[in-house]
Amino acid sequence: MPDSSRVLVLNSGSSSLKFALLDPHSGEQYLSGIGEALGSSEPLLSWRSPGQKHSRQLDGGAAHAVVIELLVRELLEETSLAQGALIAVGHRVVHGGERFARSALIDQQVIDTIAECADLAPLHNPPGLLGIHAAINAFPELPQVAVFDTAFHQTLPRHAYLYALPYSLYRDQRIRRYGMHGSSHRFVSERAADLLGKPLQETNLISAHLGNGASLTAVKNGESVDTSMGLTPLEGLVMGTRCGDVDAGLLMHLGDALGFSLEKIGCLLNRESGLLGISELSNDCRELERAAAEGHDGARLALEIFCYRLAKYIAAYTVPLQRIDALVFTGGIGENSAFVRQAVLCQLQHLGYQLDNHRNQSTRFGAEGRISKDGTAAALVIPTNEEWIIARDAASLVERGD
Ligand code: ADP
């Protein structure tokens, strides 16, 4: 593979398309951007190349294919990309069901399987396919690679992925826990093993990806053995607008006693709950920290519940792991919120965690490092980089040609 090789990484949502052009070896980004409000009357494209930021209003109704066409026609030229340097397009695909335990070169069979998994991720897989089809049209000569959010968690043992429901629901309908954020948990696990100076295959970690969506993963000898998201991204931790774990009986109560429709319940649990729902103020952790400091009781309570649930989950993962080499914080909140990290570690002192205040306060804005005192249980901050994992997987599949 030439040293100058580049991979274009695409992450398609229903009305957005994020893209990044990067070197799969060094992770250096040459171009990154997002098309937003796609399909609406005012779609917007914004992008940055080293030292420069741009944005452009697109024609009303413009969708994924238009963004990719612009990428091909103008943006890639802007980075003076040498002919032939672009070796692959890597796609983030949310759900690979039980069919994909690793990334895959895209052919018709892979496309069909992603479509079959769409009933498990109706909001995510169809836009992923839109991006794949648009990229195949734009780059018919390039290999396309799918990198699945669920793949890293395919090592979960049965006792961790099965719900205590009638077994036929798993056998016939594939209803089980799949987990998400796999590329992020995988990236920070590899980096944590490097920082600890241990082979990944001998490293036990708890990885906390805390962004608008949040999930916790127990990594044993480099493999995911439990994770907090389930069939859907709704299970587990408290998130920006999602509730995480609730009593399943709540759903019957909302329907029967309060007359809520399924659609209304879905909206309540996914978009109106979590930090936003409790605080009645915002889903943004920064804003809640500011408001809590000024005495806003809802903000204080939302952060308290968020941190308590997280600490409780971390303690629970001592069961599958027994020995923990490091607890890793990542994602927008994990990387930046000294407040959340402190509140969580304070509740885990019985597990040997002792915060180093200076390290905790100074580790943010893309910095990585240890935030617990030397000689106590290791807590690390590691900025995630899902684009790099996607680019690396794409490059290595192309290199191996399988
Ligand atoms: P997404 O899941 O959308 O990728 P991110 O990983 O970008 O989300 O995380 C977004 C969250 O990170 C928001 O709640 C935001 O408030 C929080 N965040 C970002 N910077 C800070 C900061 N300096 N302090 C506290 N929280 C922050």
Could you tell me the residue ranges of all domains in the chain? 6-148, 198-381
Under DSSP, the state recorded for 311 is: H
DSSP, residue by residue, 4-23: T-EEEEEEE-SS-EEEEEE-
Q: Is 300 annotated as a binding residue?
A: no
Q: What architecture is domain 6-148? A: 2-Layer Sandwich (3.30)
Say what the alpha-carbon torsion angle 133, 134, 137, 139 is, to the nearest 10 degrees.
-110
> How many other CB atoms are there within 10 angstroms of residue 4's CB atom?
12
CB atoms within 10 A of CB 30: 18
Strand, helix or coil at 99?
coil
Catalytic residue among 59, 107, 119, 149: 149
Distances (CA, A) of 89 to 20, 78, 115, 136: 10, 18, 19, 9
| Longest distance between any two alpha carbons in the chain, whole Å | 64
Least Cα distance to 208 among 299, 333, 77, 56 occurs for 333
Specify the ligand 1 atom closest to the Cα of 288. 16
In angstroms, the CA 4 to CA 22 distance is 10
Buried residues in 288-327 as b, exposed as e (16+ CB within 10 A): bbebbeeebebbbebbebbbebbbebbeebeebbeebbbb
Instruction: Kindly give the confidence (pLDDT) of every residue in the chain, 402 residues in length, as a single tens digit, with 9 standing for 90 and above.
Output: 455 799 999 999 888 899 999 999 999 999 999 999 998 999 999 999 888 899 999 999 998 989 988 888 887 777 666 556 899 999 999 999 999 999 999 999 999 999 999 888 888 899 899 999 999 999 999 999 999 999 999 999 999 999 999 999 999 999 999 999 999 999 999 999 999 999 999 999 999 999 999 999 999 999 999 999 999 999 999 999 999 999 999 999 999 999 999 999 999 999 999 999 999 999 999 999 999 999 999 999 999 999 999 999 999 999 999 999 999 999 999 999 999 999 999 999 999 999 999 999 999 889 999 999 999 999 999 999 999 999 999 999 998 765
From the CB of residue 329, how many other CB atoms can be counted at a distance below 10 Å? 29
Residues 71, 53: Cα–Cα separation, whole Å: 15
Residues 6+ apart with CB under 8 A from 215: 179, 180, 181, 185, 209, 227, 228, 229, 233, 236, 237
Integer CA distances (angstroms), 276 to 213, 239, 258, in order:
13, 9, 22
Q: What share of the chain is helix, strand, coil (3-state, %, to 5)?
A: 45, 20, 40
Is 333 among the annotated ligand-binding positions?
yes
233 pocket-lining for ligand 1 (C-beta < 6 Å)? no
Contacts (Cβ under 8 Å, ≥6 apart) of 375: none
Please check whether the two domains, 6-148 and 198-381, share a CATH topology. Answer: yes
124 is in an annotated binding site: no
Ligand 1: atom nearest CA of 285 is 16
374 burial via Cβ count (<10 Å: 0-12, 13-18, 19+): exposed
* 73 touches ligand 1 (CB under 6 Å): no
| 270 in Cβ contact with 242 (< 8 Å) | yes
- DSSP helix/strand/coil, 136: helix
Ligand 1 touching residue 211 (CB < 6 A): yes
In this structure, what token pair is assigned to residue 22? 């990067």
Annotation marks residue 226 as catalytic: no
Class of domain 198-381: alpha beta
> One-letter amino acid identity for 282?
S
Measured between alpha carbons, how far is 190 from 303 in angstroms, rounded to an integer? Answer: 29
Residue 124, pLDDT score: 86
Name the residue of 18, 32, 210, 337 whose CB sits within 8 Å of the most ligand 1 atoms, as the mutation to test its pocket: 337
Q: Which of 401, 388, 383 is nearest to 24 (CA)?
A: 388
